[in-house]
Amino acid sequence: MIRVWIPLIAAIAVGCSGARQKVTQSKPVSDDHIAYAAIESKPAKTTVDKPQVELASQPNQLDKELQNQIDKEFDTELELQEGESSPQDIELVSANSQAQERQEPVDEMTIPQLPPAVDSYDSVNDGLYLSEVIDSVYQSYPLLEAAFYSREVASGERLATLGAFDRKIKAGSENGPMGFYKTYRQNIGFIKPLYQGGEAFAGYRIGRGSFQPWYLERETNAGGEFKAGFSVPLSRNRDIDARRADLWRATFGREAVEPDIQAQLIGFVQESSYAYWDWVAAGAKLRIAERVLSLAQNRTERIRSQVENGFLDPPELTDNLRLVAERLGKRADAERKLQQTAVKLSLYYRDANGRPLIPSAESLPKFPELEPIDREMVSLDAKIAVEQRPEIYTLDLIQRQLDVDYSQARNDYLPNVDLVMQASQDVGFPTSPKNDKGPFELDALLLVEVPVERRKARGKLMAIEGKLSQLNAKRQLTEEKIIADVESAYAGLSGAFEQARQAEQAVEYAEDLARRERLNFEEGLSDLLKVTLREEYAVESAEKAVDAKLLYFLEQADYRAALAEDQVPFMEEQ
């Protein structure tokens, strides 16, 4: 009995040693024994060429028993892998069968896939796009609504200046019931300031009682006196006066609100674009973290089975479990960043009622295709930017206000020459036998006033001329800054485009190296440490590609802001 068991145990030991040496050998193996992995989109039944163990100098019956035992263990291992592996099953086939199915040469190897590039992931067709966020900013962003209310503020200030042209009603009652001369005087009238300068007036008065001899003009006939007239400036205040100057400045101030609103709108759209692309980039990095985590998780059961069967050392399993835990932590961090960027984006993305909407992860789109900008268009864009930027329009309005101040200062140089004409008529019973108040009266007055030194006017002119010179210099610098902004945005955009293109190339190289390292690990020609390093390099390259694309679209938002493409919605003058 002992003679039977001793050869049997020796055969098992030799067979297992030969099988382990075959898996862990450092020399290249032939193509007939290389296993290839192809990631299938649907679960597929795992089929593997069972290893054939070569036994030297053993009976045929013993060979068959050992081979059957190894086949049963191998089948058990495959069942465990099928039951606990991830949804993406890996189908292992020999090089000869792979070539026969695809009708390709045997030496063209199919390498296992690393997580694809970020922009090649499947995304929701009806995802959230940047245009929707910008539309939401236009429609319901609170700070933009607050900026629109500045129109009412400016309109109110302009309306206040129109108060200088309001009609004024004046009335008075002057009575002296005590004393030797008892007088009773009543009057009412209105004054209408004229936009062209001067004013028109009309009124009625009545004076009764006994008047002092030197105040007999206060007395009227029994029916009272009607009076009307006007005053017209002939020199100073003819083309401009304080009332019209205030109105014109307020009008330009009302117009100056529009470029201020546009500047805020450009900033809000730029900020919302930043928030949107940060959210998209955070989602892309989360997908990278999930894919690289799935690689480690899919490897766990395979390594555990190999450790249990003695093909790998236990530290290999421990190291992979450590890697899974580490990548789970990175995925949690990526989820946190995605949620934070989604909350930040909700400040700009709102519903019809203005309530913030936090976009879900299912609405994440992929990065659009990157497009370079033609260098020849930059000069044309710079001219467009100078015409559309709100800073230039603001300076134009400031110059108009200074022109008003300059005209008013020039007006103060002129002498006051006012023509006043008025007519009056008493009605009713005459108060004196002479009836000296009965005839129709017409008065014409010419009033002249001339300042001698005119220092007030000269000082205003000197100050305004200095302000105009400052404004011209500021305008020149502003135009140069706008052109520089366009050039800088173009430089950033073109540089980011090239950076993203090179980053994508680096991702391809890193993925290829990682795939080959995993293939070597499957063949026993590498270890888990090298696989981990290659995968980490691939992940770093993929994240750098995401950062490069993020930078490109942030620069694109800057270029849009530099061109002032966002215009304030038109509103009719109130």
CATH of the domain at 284: 1.20.1600.10
pLDDT in tens, 49-94: 433 333 333 334 434 443 454 344 444 443 444 444 333 333 333 3
pLDDT in tens, 147-159: 999 999 999 999 9
- Contact assessment for residue 159 and residue 248, using Cβ atoms and an 8 Å cutoff: no
Q: Is the pLDDT of residue 476 over 60?
A: yes
Are 333 and 433 in the same domain? no
The mean-pLDDT minimum among 169-178, 308-317, 324-333 falls in 308-317
User: Which amino acid would we find at residue 402?
Assistant: L
Domain annotation covers residue 298: yes
Are 361 and 289 in the same domain? yes
Q: Is the pLDDT of residue 104 over 80?
A: no
Q: Which of 27, 13, 23 is nearest to 302 (CA)?
A: 23
Distances (CA, A) of 68 to 61, 64, 224, 481: 11, 6, 137, 82
Query: How far apart are alpha carbons 557 and 266 in whole angstroms?
Result: 10
Are 252 and 226 in the same domain? no
Domain annotation covers residue 117: no
pLDDT in tens, 338-389: 999 999 999 999 998 889 999 988 899 989 988 888 888 888 999 999 999 9
Distances (CA, A) of 1 to 4, 8, 14, 220: 5, 11, 21, 158
Range of the domain at 445: 168-236+417-449
Domain annotation covers residue 477: yes
Which DSSP symbol is given to 224? -
Q: Which of 384, 403, 381, 402 is nearest to 392 (CA)?
A: 384
Are 366 and 515 in the same domain? yes
Are 266 and 181 in the same domain? no
Domain annotation covers residue 208: yes
Domain annotation covers residue 544: yes
Are 425 and 527 in the same domain? no
CA angle at residue 254 from 251 to 256, to 5 degrees?
Answer: 110
The pLDDT value given to residue 311: 78
The more confident residue out of 42 and 320 is 320
- Taking the CA atoms of 338, 341, 347 and 352 in sequence, report the sign of the dihedral they define: negative
pLDDT in tens, 239-295: 999 999 999 999 999 999 999 999 999 999 999 999 999 999 999 999 999 988 988
Domain annotation covers residue 412: no
Are 220 and 335 in the same domain? no
Band of pLDDT at residue 531, cut at 50, 70 and 90:
confident
Domain annotation covers residue 476: yes
Band of pLDDT at residue 126, cut at 50, 70 and 90:
low
Are 478 and 437 in the same domain? no
Q: Is the pLDDT of residue 400 over 60?
A: yes
The pLDDT value given to residue 137: 94
What are the start-end ranges of the H helices in 347-454?
A: 376-388, 390-413
pLDDT in tens, 422-471: 999 999 888 888 888 888 999 999 999 988 888 988 999 999 999 999 99
Are 329 and 252 in the same domain? yes
Distances (CA, A) of 276 to 36, 467, 485, 555: 41, 43, 22, 13
Domain annotation covers residue 122: no
Domain total of the chain: 2
Q: Average pLDDT for residues 219-226, to the nearest whole number?
A: 91
What are 212's two structure tokens? 């002092």
Are 222 and 290 in the same domain? no
Are 252 and 389 in the same domain? yes
Are 215 and 356 in the same domain? no
Burial (0-12, 13-18, 19+ Cβ within 10 Å), 272: buried
pLDDT in tens, 171-210: 999 998 888 888 999 999 999 999 999 999 999 999 988 8
